[in-house]
């Protein structure tokens, strides 16, 4: 991707797709849910405003799991994206549509996506795309239809590391409309692409290569690490022992926040409406029963339970303590490592017939490699590392807060080694 003339902006003419939970003025935005059917935002999300100011053009919206509730983009009221490598397999979720178009497009294109617990990394791994999840607060969340306020992050999916760095340079920066956006100095991230990695310290968390991770994927990732060492990086095994608690803590925190956030979708101000009759409770239940899918209902109920009086201390507050413990472990690791490298997902893109047989708990457990860095607000970059039986596999790079520069240095090196 080359920058255009200054008069027309660096993104002049570039088609941009946008995940369906990011507001685009006058363009249908449903977050994959019937409850928001017909919603046409009267404004652009801050990241979209920045893209338009830079000359980018919104191509359309991409399919997703309802409100981000899923790993395979099958929990949607609308179309399910098919994997370009095998139409019988998932693109991953919840940003599955972003991964699908990124992998399939034969024209210059960048996808704006969003991650709460791995929703950029999963589809990037399953479709062979590059997926960037920036530090929490690096990109404004204003205009994002929220799932879990303390973890939602707007990011980028593209065909190469350079394109993700280029787009992050455009959409990042402090926003007075978002109280959680950081005032960290804005950077030009493309200068880090292709940089020398001699002396870069790589940590390899042993828990991310444990039982449950496809050995073929682990082998590809370790082969890339060996190649990085040949380029001058140093590597050592580390431990992140609280990883085993990450999935449980993540779902308690995320679903507690989601049940609160989704209460506003009650048929009065947004989206789906029914004939107003009966009590408020009856009307509220009627609209939400018709508007939300099964997975959304499941997560609302679980989240409401976890934050109820009598259960808040037992579940929600303990989950927050685990989150702090996980963050501290990452911080300790980054005291001795510049980046951590692990598989992006524990499996290859599954067949839809296989997904149908999974229980909710089995599906949730597949997030084991992505929820911990997302809970901690760490930036991650998923880069293709090879193929198994014709299907792409991803390598995940994790760095400390606001150290995306390390992601781009190492990620671009991964792209160049065979």
Residue 32 in domain: yes
Residue 412 in domain: yes
- Catalytic-labelled residue, pool 119, 148, 399, 405: 119
- Cα separation, 171 vs 112, whole angstroms: 10
User: Minimal CA–CA distance to 74: which of 288, 374, 287, 363?
Assistant: 363
Q: What is the pLDDT along the chain (418 residues), one digit of tens a residue?
A: 444 444 589 999 899 999 999 999 999 999 999 999 999 999 999 999 999 999 999 999 999 999 999 999 999 999 999 999 999 999 999 999 999 999 999 999 999 999 999 999 999 999 999 999 999 999 999 999 999 999 999 999 999 999 999 999 999 999 999 999 999 999 999 999 998 999 999 999 999 999 899 999 999 999 999 999 999 999 999 999 999 999 999 999 999 999 999 999 988 877 788 888 999 889 999 999 999 999 999 999 999 999 888 888 899 999 999 999 999 999 999 999 999 999 999 999 999 999 999 999 999 999 999 999 999 999 999 999 999 999 999 999 999 999 999 999 999 999 999 7
> What are the C-alpha distances in Å from 296 to residues 70, 76, 92, 102, 281?
9, 10, 17, 27, 19
CA 63 to chain centre: 14
Running DSSP on this structure, what letter comes out for residue 60?
A: E
- Cα separation, 319 vs 309, whole angstroms: 16
**What CATH number is associated with residue 75?**
3.90.1300.10
Running DSSP on this structure, what letter comes out for residue 351?
A: B
Q: Which H/E stretch holds residue 57?
A: strand 57-62
pTM: 0.95
The first and second tokens of residue 89, run together, are 């397999």
Is 94 labeled as catalytic in the residue annotation? yes
- Catalytic-labelled residue, pool 49, 73, 90, 94: 94
Is 259 labeled as catalytic in the residue annotation? no
Helix, strand counts (H, E) of the chain? 13, 12
Range of the domain at 89: 15-244+320-416
340 — phi, psi (to 5°)? -115, 145
- Catalytic-labelled residue, pool 17, 19, 61, 90: 19
Residue 76 in domain: yes
Is 169 labeled as catalytic in the residue annotation? no
Number of domain units in the chain: 1
């Amino acid at each position: 991707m080359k920058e255009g003339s200054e008069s027309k902006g660096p993104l002049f003419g570039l088609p941009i797709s946008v995940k369906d939970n990011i507001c685009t003025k006058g363009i249908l935005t449903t977050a994959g849910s019937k409850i928001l059917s017909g919603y046409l935002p009267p404004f652009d999300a801050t990241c979209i405003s920045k893209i338009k100011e830079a000359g980018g053009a919104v191509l359309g919206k991409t399919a997703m799991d309802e409100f981000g509730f899923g790993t395979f983009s099958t929990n949607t009221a609308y179309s399910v994206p098919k994997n370009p490598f095998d139409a019988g397999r998932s693109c991953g979720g919840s940003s599955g549509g972003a991964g699908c178009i990124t992998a399939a497009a034969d024209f210059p294109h960048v996808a704006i996506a969003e991650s709460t617990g791995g929703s950029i990394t999963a589809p990037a791994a399953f479709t062979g795309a590059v997926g960037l999840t920036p530090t929490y607060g690096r990109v404004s969340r204003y205009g994002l239809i929220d799932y879990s306020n303390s973890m939602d992050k707007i990011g980028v999916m593209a065909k190469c590391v350079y394109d993700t760095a280029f787009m992050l340079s455009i959409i990042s920066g402090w926003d007075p409309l978002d109280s959680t956006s950081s005032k960290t100095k804005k950077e030009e991230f493309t200068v880090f692409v292709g940089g020398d990695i001699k002396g870069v310290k790589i940590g390899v968390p042993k828990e991310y290569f444990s039982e449950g991770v496809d050995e073929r994927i682990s082998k590809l990732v370790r082969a890339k690490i060996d190649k990085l060492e040949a380029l001058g990086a140093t590597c050592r095994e580390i431990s992140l022992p609280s990883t085993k608690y990450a999935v449980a803590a993540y779902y308690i925190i995320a679903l507690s926040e989601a049940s609160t956030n989704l209460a506003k979708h009650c048929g009065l101000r947004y989206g789906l409406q029914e004939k107003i009759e009966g009590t408020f409770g009856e009307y509220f239940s009627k609209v939400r029963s018709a508007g939300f899918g099964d997975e959304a209902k499941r997560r609302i109920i679980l989240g409401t339970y976890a934050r109820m009086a009598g259960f808040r201390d037992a579940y929600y507050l303990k989950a927050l303590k685990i989150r702090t413990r996980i963050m501290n472990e990452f911080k300790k690791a980054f005291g001795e490592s510049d980046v951590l490298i692990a598989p992006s997902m524990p499996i290859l893109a599954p067949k839809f017939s296989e997904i149908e047989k999974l229980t909710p708990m089995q599906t949730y457990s597949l997030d084991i490699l992505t929820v911990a860095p997302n809970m901690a607000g760490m930036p991650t970059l998923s880069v293709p590392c090879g193929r198994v039986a014709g299907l792409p596999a991803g390598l995940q790079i994790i760095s400390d807060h606001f150290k995306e520069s390390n992601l781009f240095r190492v990620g671009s090196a991964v792209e160049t080694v065979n």
